[in-house]
Amino acid sequence: MKRIDFSYYLDRLSKYSGYTASVLVVVLSLLVAYDAVARYLFSLGSVALQELEWHLFDIVFLLGLSYALKHNKHVRVDIFFEKYTTQTKAVVQIFSMLFLVIPFSLFFLHDASDMAYQSYLQHEISSDPGGLTHRYLIKSMLIVAFVLLLLQAVSEILKAYSQIHHKKILWQLLGAAVLIGSGVYLLWFNRVAFLIDPVFLMFGLSFVLLMAGFQVAFVFGGSALFFMLISDEVTLQTFQMLPYRTYGIMDNATLMAVPLFIFMGLILEKSKMAEGLMLSLGKLFGNIRGGLAISVVIVGAILAASTGIVGASVVMMGLIALPLMLKHGYSSSLASGTIAASGTLGQLIPPSVVLIVLGDQMHLSVGDLFRAAVVPGMLLIVLYVVYILAVSWLKKGWAPAIVLDEPYKEVLKAALKEIVPPLLLIGIVLGSIFTGIASATESAAIGVIGAVVLSLGRKTFSYELLRYASIETVKLTAMIFMILIGATAFSLVFSELGGGDMALEFFSQDLGSKWMFVLIAMTAIFLLGFFIDFIEIAFVVVPILVPIVASFGIDPVWFAILIAMNLQSSFLTPPFGFALFYFKGAAGDKVGTGAIYKGAVPFILLQLLALLIVACCPDLIYLFGK
C-alpha cells in the first residue's frame, strides 16, 4: 500500500507539470500570433519576445516528458506487446525503466548540470542585443525535466511491480539481465574483440528491444549509452555533448511549429468540422457511383491540409464515413481502403509534421518542402479518385450511387458552407508560408487562432475543447521530442563507431550509382515502415542518409519529398501499418481485418506509383516555385 501511495504522489508531480505545460501551449500560441501581427502589420518587433517564445516552447516539451510517460504516450512498437499478458507488460515496463530510462536520465543529468553550471558561472546572456539574460535558467530546465522523468520512472516501476503476482520470476529475470550485463562488461574489460562490428550490434539490439515492445525513445537512448560504455571507440566525452545537442533542439525555431500545428489540428478535430464536411460532401457526390468514396478522399485532403494528424483523421472518418458507406451498400474492402488511405494524406500534404521534421533533419526550408509537396499530394488525390471511379465502373455493386431526397441546389449550398471556412483557413496558413510573408511557426500560430474562430463559428468551442487540445498537444509533442533526444544520442554514438563513414563508403564507392542509392534507400525506408513509426525513421535513418545525398549531388528537396511519400506508404503496409490499426480500432466489428488489408493494397500500389512518377519527373515538385 505504501508503494502505491508513494507512486500516487510521484504521479501528481508529473500531472501538474503536464497541466503547466498545457497552459503554456495556449500562451505560446497567443504570443507567436501577437508577435507575427505586430511585426508584419505595425513593424514592431522584440528580440526578447521572440526568445521568450522559444523558451516557452522548450518548457512545454520538457515538462511534458514525464507527463507523457505517466500516460503511456511514449510510442512503442506494439506488434507483440499488445498480445502480452498484463504481467508480461509489467515486466517489460520495469526493465525499460531500470535499464533504459533511469541510466540514461542519470548520465544526462550529470552532463546537463555541468552545462547549466558553466552557463551560471559565465553569466551567459543572449548573443542578440535586447535578448534575454540569465541563460542558465532555460538550460536548467533540462535538469528539472529529467529529474521529473526519473521520478516518474520510479513511479512506473512501483505500479508495474504491484501488478506482478509471481515476483520470483521477475527477480530471476533481473538476475539474468545483470549476469549478462556483467559478462559483457568483463569481455570489454579484458579487451575481447567484437565478433561483429558494433555498428551492426547496436542496430540489432535496438531492433530486438523495439520488437519486444520497449518505448522507442528510450531504446535509442539506452542502446547508445550501452555501447558508449562497452566500446573503446566511444568515450564519455561523446555523451557529454548530448545536453548541448539537446539545447540546439531547444533553440530551433523551425521545430517550434510542431506543437502549434498539432494544437491547431486537435482544435479542428474536436470542432466537428470533419463530420459536417463528410455528410455534406457525401450528399454532393453521392448521386454518382463511387461518389461517397470520392467525398471521403476530398475530406481526407481537407483534413490533411488543416490538421495534418493521421491518427485523428483516420479515426474520425472511420467513425463517420464507414457506417454511411456500409449503409449504402459499399464494398467493405473498398470503404476500408479509401478511408485508411485518405487519412494518411496528412503525412504528405502541408502542413505536414513529417515535412517539418525532415526540414530540420536535412537542414532545408520548411516553406520549400511545403511548396514541393503540393503537386505530389494532388497527384495522389487524382490517382485515388481515378481508381475509385474505375472500380465503381467495373464492379457496379461495390460503390452504388445514392438517391438524394432533397434538391441538389440545397445540397450544393450546404456543401459550400462546410467547405469554404476550412479552405479559407488553409489558404491563409499555407499562403503566408508559400509567399514568404510568415514563417511556418508564425503561420501555425495564426492557424491556431483561425481554428478557434472556426470552432466558435460552429458553436463547438468550449473550455473542455481547449483543455483537451492543449493537454494532448503536450503529450504528442513530448513524445516526438523525446524520440529526437534519444535519436540524437544514438546518432552521436553511431558516428563515433564509424557508422556514418561506413554508410558513405558503401554507397559512394561500393555502389557508386546515384540511382542505386535512391533505390536502396527508398526500399530500406519502405521496409522499415512495416515495423517502426515515421518519427523514428526521420530522426535515426535520415541523418545517416544526408551526407550521402550531398556526396552524390542529389537535390535534397526532391529526396525529402520521396522520403515523405515513402513514409506515407508505411502507414498502410499490412500487417503493421499504423493507419490500419487506427481504422480497425474505429471500425470495431463492422469490418474484418482481412477486408481492411485487401482494401489497403491497391492504395499502397497507387502510392508507390506516385512515388515512381515523382522520382522519374523531379521537376514536378517545383511547379509551385522553388
- Residue 43: what pLDDT? 75
Per the model's pLDDT, the better-predicted residue between 242 and 312 turns out to be 242
Concatenated DSSP letters of 485-535: HHHHHHHHHHHHTTHHHHHHHIIIIII--HHHHHHHHHHHHHHHTTTS-HH
CA distance 148 to 19: 14
Q: Is 493:228 a contact under the CB 8 Å cutoff?
A: yes
Residue 382's pLDDT band (cuts 50, 70, 90): very high
Ramachandran quadrant class, 54 (left: phi over 0; alpha: psi -120 to 50; beta: rest): alpha
- Residue 507: what pLDDT? 64
What are the φ/ψ torsions at residue 349 (nearest 5 degrees)?
-70, 130
Mean pLDDT within 47-62? 90
CA angle, corner 263, sides to 259 and 268, nearest 5?
150
pLDDT in tens, 528-541: 776 666 777 777 78
Per the model's pLDDT, the better-predicted residue between 2 and 98 turns out to be 98
Out of 145-149, 156-160, 564-568, pick the least confident. 564-568
Provide the mean pLDDT of the chain. Answer: 84
Out of 42-46, 294-298, 358-362, pick the least confident. 42-46
CA distance 257 to 209: 31
CA distance 567 to 537: 8
Tell me what percent of the residues of the chain surpass a pLDDT of 90: 24
- Residue 312: what pLDDT? 61
- The amino acid occupying position 293 is A
Nearest to 372 by CA among 298, 425, 433: 433
Coil, helix or strand for 215? strand
Q: CB-based contacts of 251: which residues, under 8 Å, 6+ apart? A: 54
CA distance 138 to 136: 6
- Residue 500: what pLDDT? 67
Q: For residue 320, how many C-alpha atoms fall within 13 Å in the half-sphere facing its CB?
A: 25
Residue 575's pLDDT band (cuts 50, 70, 90): low
Coil, helix or strand for 263? helix
Tell me what percent of the residues of the chain surpass a pLDDT of 70: 92
pLDDT in tens, 72-111: 888 776 668 878 888 889 999 999 999 999 999 999 999 9
Top-ranked range on mean pLDDT: pick from 41-50, 51-60, 210-219, 401-410: 51-60
In the predicted structure, residue 62 carries a pLDDT above the cut 90: yes
pLDDT in tens, 355-370: 888 888 888 888 889 8
Mean pLDDT within 16-39? 92
Top-ranked range on mean pLDDT: pick from 304-318, 383-397, 566-580: 383-397
Q: Kindly tell me the burial class for residue 133, based on how many C-beta atoms sit within 10 Å of its own C-beta (0-12, 13-18, 19 or more).
A: exposed
Q: Which three cell numbers stand for residue 485?
A: 533526444
Compute CA distances 423 → 259, 272, 427, 445, whole Å. 21, 15, 6, 17
In the predicted structure, residue 189 carries a pLDDT above the cut 80: no
Residue 506's pLDDT band (cuts 50, 70, 90): low
Per the model's pLDDT, the better-predicted residue between 103 and 127 turns out to be 103
CA distance 295 to 171: 56
Residue 234's pLDDT band (cuts 50, 70, 90): confident
Q: What pTM does this model have? A: 0.80
CA distance 257 to 247: 17
In the predicted structure, residue 318 carries a pLDDT above the cut 80: no
CA distance 366 to 439: 9
Residue 197's pLDDT band (cuts 50, 70, 90): confident
CA angle, corner 532, sides to 604 and 585, nearest 5?
70
- Residue 1: what pLDDT? 46
- Residue 149: what pLDDT? 95
Mean pLDDT within 480-508? 78
Q: Is 399:331 a contact under the CB 8 Å cutoff?
A: yes
Coil, helix or strand for 98? helix
What are the φ/ψ torsions at residue 543 (nearest 5 degrees)?
-60, -30
Mean pLDDT within 392-409? 78
- Residue 404: what pLDDT? 67
- Residue 613: what pLDDT? 94
CA distance 185 to 191: 10
Ramachandran quadrant class, 46 (left: phi over 0; alpha: psi -120 to 50; beta: rest): beta
